[in-house]
Chain A
Amino acid sequence: MTSEQLSTQNTTREADVLVQDNRYVDPSKPLVEIRDLEIEFTTQGGTVKALKGVSFDIFPGETVAIVGESGSGKSTTAHGIINLLPDNGKITGGQVLFEGEDLTTAKKSELYRVRGRDIGFVPQDPMSNLNPVWSVGFQVREAIRANGIASSKKDVNARAIEVLKEAGLRDAEHRMAQYPHQFSGGMRQRVLIGIGLAAHPKLLIADEPTSALDVTVQRVILDHLEALTRERNAALLLITHDLGLAAERATKLIVMYQGKIVEAGPSKKILQDPQHPYTKRLIESAPSLASQRISGAKVTHVGESGIDVADIAATHEDARAKQDITPVIEVNDLTKVYSIRKGNFKSTPLTAVDAISFKIPRGTTLALVGESGSGKTTAAKMVLGLEKPTSGEIILDGTNLSGISKKDLFAVRRKMQPVFQDPYGSLDPQRSIGAIIGEPLKVHKVGDAASRKARIKELLDQVSMPAEVADRYPNELSGGQRQRVAVARALALKPDIVVLDEAVSALDVLVQAQILQLLADLQSELGLTYLFITHDLAVVRVVADEIAVMENGKIVETGTADAIFDNAQVEYTQKLLEAIPGAGIDWIE
């Protein structure tokens, strides 16, 4: 085949005429062959092997997904392919053959030619990967010029408009002059995908391209990405932590664990019939629509009242049957209006939370679900007393919190404690774990030093952490362990309600499953009531008794978990449910 024959593949659009597509691709030969790739990082504590011999192929036009937890080496693999590692990283072994040429030993100039032109890259975080001081158009033009797609000013400009149009920007000509902050997260990611595909690369590497985005936006972006790569017959390497997403989008799935590939093969086959114990565990732990609510097992703990004789037969259902009819917390017409300052000394009101009402019966979980900007976190903050409601009332255990005195509010806080999203930000790095867990006791002057110490030990035991952790500092703990500590702190004052604000969103699947199980155990053991704030509907499936869906500050639908998942009434809820990655796949259960 000659290059002329192949160029008939091209569509007749003007954009493609600008690209000299004279590169021949043989569909039966792998585009990229990765052989025993090894990568090391030099850190303070010595060298760390991030990749321990990774081998796989990517064929032309194929979509391959690498799935793994943080630290599994999935992103390192992606960066290793284009030899774009941070200063302290080094390829120490193996080969990356791109159309037969080894990129690990290629010269810098050669790599520059391949990057962008032959292999496009879509980075993870759309918020930080566009330079805020340059217009979007400038950055697209820069990429086009760097890839040598066009050189004259007119051609570059025309191609830039093309790229942005393909990326889904309607009035690309005008929006070119705008700056990244004028674009939403989804639009920025589209621009980055546009830049990645600008030179019609044969391979596009997308590193968690949608992790920072809402599910509905994620879906649109991935559809778009899929359409564009298919149109150009480009191969796509998708790096993700989301099994459902990987299986839905990729034909071939690679599961990585601790720098190695543990299982690779056809997506559906792996999802339905995993062979490796790690893959099995990963798939079992991933919450999906097919999952069931986790029920808490009563664990026997040596508490302050001696041995707690737990009724092991008591399941969650029993707990629910016994629950009080009076809700432990009731929220009526809660509203928060912020005034947004404008440049001209005026301000416009923004209704973040618009007259929401809900109640939570004792011992149950209400999930407040919504996308970013839906007002769910503002609602949580008002419930916690961290934000003053504009109007509406919060009734906690019969006490109306509006107009309550400072002293009473202080007392009420004991009944309600939060766990926040970011495990790395929610613990004071300069306090020992014991001091962190004991802080609520100290503030509320509960007990003396000795009894506080005993309580800290008991709390650590409840969250399955050894007592010696009390003397340590947060920097030695992983995200999941920090979140356990945060849970222990929340439980210190024996609250009735725990507000979990995206408490498991930042965690890896297996750790997330562990924490969710812990929360369920604690709920049935201590009769806790949870207000669970999240954007992740799959997680909601496994924790919630009741669900309230928020959109633009309003609750648009409420109901039991089963009712919402089986028979959502509102279009927005249906859209959310459909957008969950992997919704249409049969999972093993």
Chain B
Amino acid sequence: MSDRQPEHYVAPIEDATVEVDALKLKERKSNLWLDAWRDLRRRVLFYAALLVVLVVLTMAIAPTLFTDVSPTLGCQLTNSNGASIAGHPMGFTRQGCDVFARVVWGARTSLSVGILVVVITAVIGIPMGAIAGFFGGKLDSLLSRIGDIFFSIPYFLAAVVVMSVLGQYRSVWVIALAIGGFAWASLARILRAEVLQVKNSDYVMASEAVGRGRMATLLSHVLPNSLTPVIVTLTIALGAAIVAEASLSFLGLGLNSNVMSWGQDISQAQSSIRTAPMALVWPSVMLTVTVLAFIVLGELIRDALDPKSRARR
């Protein structure tokens, strides 16, 4: 040990103005959602994905804006598998119907199935996950086991079975129920895990100390703070549901053949894939681009809602 006395150093006094806990407000308000929105607005990919989604949405709501050719009436077998001609940019199907018109009109089915599945998934999955996570105990065990049962059944397989059994009732609603009714369990799991974390926050305790009831606390504080993964999961699930509908239709287990859907068209076009591949390619491209747009959107939202990933970029 040295007996050296350290010298006394004092920084120039004017250097430090002691400011205790000065309030530094930013120019703009900021919270998780505002910051996420500001982040999204700066990303090109977000606009690209949003554009695709909006175009498909418009197609679904008002197909006549895109084409005045009927997809079902006026199909002439003389045009069977015909190449593109003026007024019919994508050519004709085997039945002689206009491919472009069918692609445009098919968006309605795909999108309504996608949206319905998401609604059904959310309506079942969010209460199941939130209640299981928040109240815990025996209720959690019960709800989680129910979820596990559904989780253990692959939702696509279940949908195949349901659609085969309910062959005569095929409609957009039934197919959405068949997919959504078995797909909610993963959402419930994700939400439950998030709720378990959020419910231990002091602000939840503070809310209860004020006298807010358990359920009111869940709705006003816990759920809003657990929604991030739910939104991401649901956006991606929308894409997955469109794929599921197309797959079921392709297998002949989807909607009736008189309903237009991309899956249906892909299925019907496969017999003439060698002679007229474009009748198969166009609906497939549309399907892929739409699904991709939703998945990219989900990923972008996930990134934007995560301050850590924002900092990394």
Q: CB < 8 Å: which of B13, B23, B30, B216 contacts A277?
A: B13
A-B contact count (CB 8 A): 151
A276 touching B32, Cβ below 8 Å: no
Stretch at the interface among B140-148, B184-192, B205-213, B243-251: B205-213
102-159 of chain A: CB within 8 A of chain B: none
Q: Is the CB of A473 within 8 A of B29?
A: yes
Contacts A59-B2, A386-B205: A476 and B25 contacting too (C-beta < 8 A)? yes
B224 to chain A, nearest CB (A): 5
Contact check, B202 vs A426: say whether CB atoms are below 8 A apart. Answer: yes
**List of A residues within 8 angstroms of B225 by Cβ:** 428-430
A interface residues, tally (CB under 8 Å): 72
Of the listed stretches B4-12, B164-172, B259-267, B281-289, chain A binds: B4-12
B21 CB-CB contact with A under 8 Å: yes
B68 interface contact, C-beta 8 A: no
**B193 → chain A, closest Cβ, in Å?**
18
The answer on a CB contact under 8 Å between B9 and A264 is: yes
Contact B18 A278 (CB under 8 A): yes
| One of A265, A421, A439, A469 near B210 (C-beta < 8 A) | A439
Whether B66 sits at the interface, judged by CB under 8 Å, is no
A residues near B15, Cβ cutoff 8 Å: 260, 262
The answer to the question of A395 belonging to the interface, with a C-beta cut-off of 8 Å to chain B, is no
Per-residue interface assignment for chain A, residues 448 to 482, with 1 indicating a CB less than 8 Å from any chain B CB and 0 otherwise: 00000000000000000110110111011110110
**CB of A427 within 8 A of chain B?**
yes
Closest to A274 in B: B10
6 closest Cβ pairs, A-B complex: A265-B8, A426-B202, A473-B31, A420-B202, A413-B211, A275-B10
Query: In the complex, what distance in Å separates the CA atom of A417 from the CA atom of B13?
Result: 43
Among B17-46, those with CB < 8 Å from A are 18, 20-21, 23-26, 29-33
0/1 interface trace, chain A 1-44, chain B, CB 8 Å (1 if under): 00000000000000000000000000110000000000000011
The answer to whether A257 touches B16 (Cβ under 8 A) is yes
Q: Closest CB-CB distance, A38 to chain B, in whole Å?
A: 16
Q: How far is the CB of A36 from chain B (nearest CB, A)?
A: 14
User: CA–CA, A261 to B165, complex, Å?
Assistant: 78
- Interface contact B29-A472, CB-CB below 8 Å: yes
In the complex with contacts A59-B2, A277-B13, A269-B8 CB distance below 8 A: yes
Asked if A430 contacts B224 (CB within 8 A), the reply is: yes
Are the C-beta atoms of B31 and A430 separated by less than 8 Å?
A: yes
Bound complex: CA A28 to CA B4 (Å): 8
What is the CA–CA distance of A61 and B29 in the complex, to the nearest angstrom? 52
User: Which residue of A261, A422, A481 is within 8 Å of B23 (Cβ)?
Assistant: A481
A62 proximity list for chain B (CB < 8 A): 1-2
Residues of A within 8 A of B (CB): 27-28, 43-44, 59-62, 88, 230, 233, 251-252, 257-258, 260-266, 269-270, 275-278, 281, 384-386, 409-410, 413-414, 417-418, 420-422, 425-430, 432, 436, 439-440, 443-444, 465-466, 468-469, 471-473, 475-478, 480-481, 486, 489, 493, 510-511, 514
Complex Cα–Cα for A426 and B205 (A) = 8
Identify which of A278, A413, A429, A444 contacts B32 (C-beta below 8 A). Answer: A429
Across the interface, do A417 and B210 meet the contact criterion of CB distance under 8 Å?
A: yes
Distance, CA A263 to CA B32, complexed state (A): 40
User: Are A266 and B207 neighbours in the complex by a CB distance under 8 Å?
Assistant: no
Taking a contact as CB atoms under 8 Å apart, the answer to whether B6 and A275 are in contact is: no
Determine if A427 and B203 form an interchain contact, defined as CB atoms under 8 angstroms apart: yes
Cα of A475 to Cα of B136 in the assembled complex, Å: 30
Q: Which of B11, B201, B209 interacts with A386 by CB under 8 Å?
A: B209
A420 to B225, CA, bound (A): 19
Given contacts A264-B8, A514-B20, A514-B21, contact A475 B30 (CB under 8 A): yes
- Distance in angstroms between the alpha carbons of A311 and B212 in the assembled complex: 37
Chain B contact residues, CB within 8 Å of chain A: 1-2, 4-11, 13, 15-16, 18, 20-21, 23-26, 29-33, 201-203, 205-212, 216, 221, 224-225, 307, 310-311
Please, how many angstroms separate the alpha-carbon atoms of A472 and B24 in the complex?
12
**Contact of A275 with B2 at beta-carbon distance under 8 Å, contacts A262-B15, A489-B206 already known:** no
Chain B residue with Cβ nearest A270 = B8
25 A-B residue pairings within 8 Å (CB atoms): A62-B1, A233-B1, A251-B6, A258-B16, A260-B15, A276-B11, A276-B13, A276-B16, A277-B13, A386-B208, A409-B211, A413-B209, A418-B205, A420-B205, A426-B203, A428-B201, A428-B207, A439-B210, A466-B23, A471-B29, A475-B30, A476-B30, A510-B20, A510-B21, A511-B20
Which residue of A61, A270, A418, A480 contacts B206 across the interface (Cβ within 8 Å)? Answer: A418
Tell me the complex Cα distance, A477–B24, Å. Answer: 8
Give the nearest-CB partner of B3 in chain A. Answer: A27
In the assembled complex, the Cα of A444 lies from the Cα of B9 at a distance in Å of 57
**Chain A residues with Cβ under 8 A from B9's Cβ?**
261, 263-265
Q: With CB as the reference atom, state the residue of chain B lying closest to A57.
A: B6
Across-interface contacts of A472 in B (CB, < 8 A): 25, 29-30
19 A-B pairs besides A264-B9, A428-B225, A432-B31 with CB distance below 8 A are: A27-B2, A43-B311, A62-B1, A88-B311, A276-B11, A278-B16, A281-B20, A384-B209, A420-B202, A426-B206, A428-B201, A430-B32, A439-B210, A444-B210, A475-B31, A476-B30, A477-B23, A510-B21, A511-B21
Q: Is the CB of A410 within 8 A of B211?
A: yes
Q: Which residues of B sit under 8 angstroms from A476, Cβ to Cβ?
A: 24-26, 30
Q: Which residue of A lies closest to B9 (CB)?
A: A264
Q: Nearest Cβ distance between residue B74 and chain A, in whole angstroms?
A: 54
